[in-house]
Structure 1
């Protein structure tokens, strides 16, 4: 009998839910202090996850959760970019492109 594969789980910094890693978006702060979206999930640096959901992205901006997660001030432009990226990814999934 085949052994069941483990499903990697991560906690969303916005809702606190523990979710399958594939349903989350990874945000990274690297050694240079740059904060960026990591679509591959493999970039070096400290990672924080949020669910691919418009409400979560809006809450992240409103509560400035990445400022707290990365112990630094994250720009307003980054949060706007995050909301646009999440919206784009959701639309691609609805069209069946991902």
Structure 2
């Protein structure tokens, strides 16, 4: 039997390749709204970050989140993302 390959994604904070299930997906929909996709099925452009505040803050500081979505992201959206990561 063939073993199924685990899909990996790169964290925008630390830059490490990790299994998709270990990362949190941040998604931008067609209207330009940015939110966390807990299921991983929402339509739109996605970026992945580890389940830690350190990685999110690194991604914010280096503007990797903004580059991956090609738009300016307001501080209140970052605050909401931080809050959702802390609650998980």
1:77 is displaced (CA, Å) by: 0.8
| Whole-angstrom CA distance in 2 between matches of 1:57 and 1:30 | 20
Contact kept in structure 2, 1:60 and 1:79, CA below 8 Å? no
Unaligned 5+ residue runs, structure 2?
Answer: none
How many residues align? The count is 88
Counterpart residue number, 1:39? 38
1:34 is displaced (CA, Å) by: 1.1
Counterpart residue number, 2:8? 9
Matched position secondary structure for 2:39: coil
1:20 is displaced (CA, Å) by: 0.3
| Whole-angstrom CA distance in 2 between matches of 1:25 and 1:77 | 19
Question: TM-score with structure 1 length normalisation?
Answer: 0.81
Question: TM-score with structure 2 length normalisation?
Answer: 0.90
Contact kept in structure 2, 1:14 and 1:59, CA below 8 Å? yes
Counterpart residue number, 1:79? 78
Counterpart residue number, 1:61? 60
